[in-house]
Every structure is written in C-alpha cells, then in structure tokens.
Amino acid sequence: MSDELEIVRTVADLRQLLASWRKEGLSIGLVPTMGALHDGHFSLVEQSVQTNARTVTSLFVNPKQFGPSEDLDVYPRDEVADAAALAARGVDLLFAPAVEEMYSDGAVTAVAVPGIGDLLEGGFRPGFFTGVATVVAKLLIQSLPDRAYFGEKDYQQLCVIKRLTKDLDLPVDIVSCPIVREPDGLALSSRNAYLSAEDRQAAPALHQALIGAGYALANGAQVTSSIAAATAELLNVGFTKVDYIAVCDPTSLEQLEIVAGKARLLAAAWLGKTRLIDNIAIDV
Ligand code: PAF
C-alpha cells in the first residue's frame, strides 16, 4: 500500500505507473468497477489490499454493456465520493478513463463469449456480456494485474470472465468474492438506489425465495415445482415480473433438471422499474 490515491485517466499513464511497480517486483490487484461504490465493492477492495502490494480500482461506466432502453444516462455517478472511499481503504491508484479514451478512434473490436454468455442474463440483455467481456479484457490487458476481483453477486458475469481469461490465455488469477447483503438479506447493488420505500420492503423476498427453493430441493422437491413456488412467492409480495429462476451447474450454468451435488440457483425479477438479480449456492 502506498500513502496516497493517485488518479490517472489515460491508458498510457496507467501502463507507465504499473510498469514501474512491476519492475520493483510489487504484486498488483485490480478491482474493476462502474463506481457508485458500496460495501460489496469495498469487500473486493479490502481483499485486494490485503493480498497485493498495490491495488488499482477502475471506475468506468461502460456504455457497451447497457442496452438502448437501459439506465446508462441515469446510472449513479459520484467520482469524488468514490475516490475518497477508495483512498480511505488503501487503494493506490484509480483509473477513471473517459469513454473516448477506452473506445478511441472508432474502436470496433468486441470480445464475445457465446454459450455461457447467451444464457440467463444474456437472453434478457442481448449484448450485455459482450460489452462486459470487451471492457474487462481491455482492462486486464491494459493493467496486467496478478489478480482481479469480482463479486459473486453477478455470478454469471464471474463465470463469463473466468471463461474469457482462460480462452484468451490472460495471465491473471480471477478471484471471486462472496455477496455482501443488507441485514434483511437484500444483496448490495448500486441499482438498489432506484427502489422506492415500498419496493425496498419487498426486495429481500428475492433472496428468501432462493433460500426457500434451495431448501425444497434439498428435501427432495422437483426442480420445476421449486421454481414455480419461488416465482409465485415473488409475485405474491409485489414483484411485477420474474425473468427467470434457474437451477444451474455452478461452472457451465447449464440448467439442471435434477440436482445431485453442487448447483447454483440464480434469479432475476422486477420490482416496478427496477430489475434485481441474486443467486445462492446449494449442495444437495
Ligand atoms: O460488475 C461491474 O461493475 C461491471 O460489469 C464491470 C465488471 C466493472 C465491467 O464494466
């Protein structure tokens, strides 16, 4: 850990600083973010600061991972507060490029992760994982960290990133960090800020529905009936639409019809205009 948080906005400056650290033999951890930082991000930062001699956080609201009707324009942004919070937690460098810096000169190259990137979230948010994979591949190539940290809250994103680093032979250790939850079980997310007071009350039901389905499966219930019960529970407490509740292989995310052993339960559902996602591990 160095004494101060430095902020750089160009790839050239990022590379220069990181090259000097590597020359000194210092290990480097990268925590990619879109800002609007909360305790979920801070848990990634803290893990990186503990493990690596230097920690870099990127702050970039990546337009390529937002669909045309999604919340790019209103996505919460507060760089000053984010930078202060990162400095207090011992982060050494904040990389905060403008869109023109990340995608300069009419950049067209994209990183697609078909298969695992087309399932679940990929089906409901076309292009989302190509946007994520493209920016994460760029960040990893720009910074060449020893380790990069991602939260299990976006479990499918984590699987897609593990796949892309393997497929592209990127020499980085992808570290997954557990979901951080509010005391009532709601998974922390920058988008929770969109919830009305009434929706905020209903929101923890998403986690509860997953726990209920996991419990039913562990007690021998069928996959289809467990999902149907969890869906009904969500609609009953005020969720307006359930995009999916799925029982999946924890690595490939292929949907399972019968669970024997480890599986991941994943869900996405709407409370009014806010779309929430969550997931839990089960071992039956
Ligand atoms: O999880 C996020 O905040 C983003 O998808 C990421 C990994 C920073 C890429 O923009």
Which protein residue has the closest C-alpha to ligand 1 atom 9? 132
Answer yes or no: pTM beyond 0.85: yes
CATH numbers and ranges of domains, the chain: 6-177 (3.40.50.620), 190-277 (3.30.1300.10)
- Average of per-residue pLDDT across 143-169: 98
- Best residue among 156, 157, 158, 165 to mutate for probing ligand 1's pocket (most ligand atoms within 8 Å of CB) is 157
- Best residue among 128, 136, 277 to mutate for probing ligand 1's pocket (most ligand atoms within 8 Å of CB) is 136
Distance 260 CA to ligand 1 centre (A): 32
Q: What pLDDT, in 10s, does the model give residues 60-96? A: 999 999 999 999 999 999 999 999 999 999 999 999 9
Q: Please say whether the beta carbons of 71 and 110 come within 8 A.
A: no
Is 90 exceeded by the pLDDT of residue 4?
A: no
What torsion do the CA atoms of 95, 187, 50, 80 make, to the nearest 10 degrees? 30
Rounded distance between C-alpha atoms, residue 210 and residue 160, angstroms: 22
> Is there an atom of ligand 1 within 6 Å of 132 CB?
yes
Distance 158 CA to ligand 1 centre (A): 10
pLDDT score of 105: 85
Which protein residue has the closest C-alpha to ligand 1 atom 5? 132
> Is there an atom of ligand 1 within 6 Å of 136 CB?
yes
**Residue closest to 127 by CA, chosen among 202, 67, 193, 46:** 67
Residue pointed to by tokens 């879109």 = 34
Is 90 exceeded by the pLDDT of residue 243?
A: yes
- Average of per-residue pLDDT across 28-38: 98
- Average of per-residue pLDDT across 230-248: 98
